[in-house]
Amino acid sequence: MHMINFDNAATTFPKPRQVITTLSEALAATGGNPSRGGHQLALRTAQAVYAARDNVADFFGTNAENVAFTLNCTYALNMAIKGIMSKGGHIIISSLEHNSVSRPVFALSKTRNVSFSIANVYSDDEKTLRELERMIKPSTKAIAFTLASNVTGQITPYRQIGKLCQRKGICFIADASQLCGARQILLDDGIDIICTSGHKGLYGPPGTGILVSNGKYPIKPIIEGGTGTDSKSLVQSSRLPESLESGTVNTSGIIALSKGVDFVKKYTCERIFAEESELCKIFINGLAKIDGFKIYRDSNASYAPIVAFNFRDTEPEVIASYLDNNGICMRAGLHCAALAHNHLGTKQGTVRFAPSIFNKKEEVLKTLRILENTEKILLEN
Amino acid sequence: MTENYRYMNTATTFGMSSPTMAYKANSILKANGFDSSIVKLANTGNGCVYGVSVRGDVENAYSALRRSGIEPVSIQR
């Protein structure tokens, strides 16, 4: 049975051919430890990592030294949130946050005298912004907001939030994981720290994440160790990006990630967004014609190419299992985002349709044909 | 920088604040036509320091780095 993957919001699969070949080639040819030794193998590897860093920096409209490579977006967000809030203070997060934001913030509230508020995200951006601004206190140090929900795909008004943060002198930490690659995200959008995964919309390998900082708000490292600089000192270097990259980096993954970024640059974010959104539209229109399906979208909001849905009061996992038995991969449940499901009122979770640029219209139509039989199959079982 | 650094044939090494800045400096110098390469410095007193070794018009190389916002942390002849 031909497998169809619509779980690309978790990680994109398949990867572009050049990412796959580069990963293998990098492991074979640039296997030194970058920024450690002075021999040719180490220097060649460090040059390749620098080239990747420079390429990623260009994608986010900044300089190479502002780009730190991490293991994934969760690591980047933990570094940013804990690094900015290390001395306490108030932080505002959104009602759509993934656990990679809500859990570090909750942990800080128990250990570091950090207080937090949760701002609702509405379909009306102005209402969202008003509520957010009302929550700002003199002690507010940061706003950590997702750019797009990993559950519904709803895009938050991040450019306006950026302006608000700049006006108030608050650090804006953005979880760009679900929007990066589908939209061009820049530090010029008013974001101080962009955190994103490399393995989702940037089509890199798993084990790659990115933290991009404009350097305005110093990030206290949460991991200390070797940085390849000032090694005599017991004090962790404060220089970006090495201060956030203690230990050996995922060299081959980073070099391959750069090829994924090249793929997105060539294809363009606009085209990726348009093509994936078109698949979502076909899916939504098809699903709307089948009795019993509920789609979690609001006509007043804008969305990344993700569709959340449920079938009557059936457990989402039952639908995902039924789809899986028919060769279709979709993720069901809470998507590590309990806050978002509380906000939506979907305590059982949802099923998530998340196409990539490699999915075809025919695959969506096949999925819809399978979903047409949902009720009948459920009754039989 | 003094006139002494001009038009030297021997390599001069600019120590950089981090490995990334060393590679950035090397990239800038190469883009400006300089013969440069990355080196790991010895006897720095601070442990690992990476730098960029340049041959030729060192003063102009230094100026090219400063124009790009890069300030070497040390200069070794």
pLDDT of res. B8: 45
> With left for phi above 0 and alpha for psi between -120 and 50, is residue A121 left, alpha or beta?
beta
- The answer to whether the Cβ–Cβ distance between A50 and B17 falls below 8 Å is no
Instruction: Give the residue-averaged pLDDT of A160-183.
Output: 98
- Extents of the domains making up chain A: 4-13+268-380, 17-267
- The answer to whether the Cβ–Cβ distance between B20 and A47 falls below 8 Å is no
| AA letter at A175 | D
- The answer to whether the Cβ–Cβ distance between A47 and B48 falls below 8 Å is no
- The answer to whether the Cβ–Cβ distance between A50 and B27 falls below 8 Å is yes
Q: How far is B3 from chain A (nearest CA, A)?
A: 30
Taking the C-alpha atoms of residue A325 and residue A228, their distance in angstroms, rounded to an integer, is 50
**pLDDT, tens digit (0-9, with 9 covering 90-100), for A129-150:** 999 999 999 999 999 999 999 9
Chain A hits for B23, CB-CB cut-off 8 Å, are 46-47, 50, 64
Q: How far is A231 from chain B (nearest CA, A)?
A: 5
Chain B hits for A227, CB-CB cut-off 8 Å, are 18
Taking the C-alpha atoms of residue A275 and residue A73, their distance in angstroms, rounded to an integer, is 25
What's the CATH fold of domain A17-267?
A: Aspartate Aminotransferase; domain 2 (3.40.640)
- The answer to whether the Cβ–Cβ distance between A229 and B24 falls below 8 Å is no
Chain B segment 20-39 residues within 8 A of A by beta carbon are: 20-21, 23-24, 27, 38-39
Cα B65 to Cα A148, B20, B24, B26, distances in angstroms: 39, 14, 9, 9
pLDDT of res. A379: 79
- The answer to whether the Cβ–Cβ distance between B17 and A233 falls below 8 Å is no
- The answer to whether the Cβ–Cβ distance between B46 and A232 falls below 8 Å is yes
Domain span including residue B62: 3-76
Taking the C-alpha atoms of residue B18 and residue B49, their distance in angstroms, rounded to an integer, is 7
Secondary structure element (H or E) that encloses residue A172, with its range: strand A171-175
Q: Tell me whether the CATH fold assigned to A4-13+268-380 matches the one assigned to A17-267.
A: no
CA pseudo-torsion sign A198, A200, A204, A208: positive
Taking the C-alpha atoms of residue B26 and residue B9, their distance in angstroms, rounded to an integer, is 18
Buried-exposed string A68-95: b where 16+ CB fall within 10 A, e elsewhere: bbbbbbbbbbbbbbbbbbbeebbbbbbb
**pLDDT, tens digit (0-9, with 9 covering 90-100), for A12-45:** 999 999 999 999 999 999 989 998 888 999 999 9
- The answer to whether the Cβ–Cβ distance between A65 and B24 falls below 8 Å is yes
Half-sphere exposure of A269 (CA within 13 A, CB side): 15
CATH code (residue B27): 3.30.70.120
Those residues whose C-beta lies under 8 Å from the C-beta of residue A338, and which sit 6 or more positions away, are A99, A102
Chain A residues with at least one Cβ partner in B under 8 Å: 34-38, 43, 46-47, 50, 53-54, 63-65, 227-233, 237, 239, 241-242
Which of A37, A63, A229 lies closest to B18 in CB terms?
A229
- Above 60 in pLDDT, residue B7? no
Chains A, B: CB contacts within 8 A come to 64
Report ipTM for this prediction: 0.88
**pLDDT, tens digit (0-9, with 9 covering 90-100), for B25-73:** 999 999 999 999 999 987 777 788 899 999 989 999 999 999 999 999 9
Give the other-Cβ count within 10 Å of A141's Cβ.
18
Q: Using a CB cutoff of 8 Å and minimum separation of 24, what contacts does A310-318 make?
A: A310/A346, A310/A348, A310/A350, A310/A351, A311/A351, A311/A371, A311/A374, A311/A375, A311/A378, A313/A348, A314/A378, A315/A348, A316/A348, A316/A349, A316/A350, A316/A351, A317/A349, A318/A378
Confidence of residue B6 (pLDDT cuts 50, 70, 90): very low
DSSP bridge pairs for A116:
A91
At the fourth CATH level, the homologous superfamily of domain A4-13+268-380 is Aspartate Aminotransferase, domain 1 (3.90.1150.10)
Tell me, yes or no, if the pTM score tops 0.80. yes
Q: How many domains does chain B have?
A: 1
- Above 70 in pLDDT, residue B3? no
Q: How far is A244 from chain B (nearest CA, A)?
A: 12
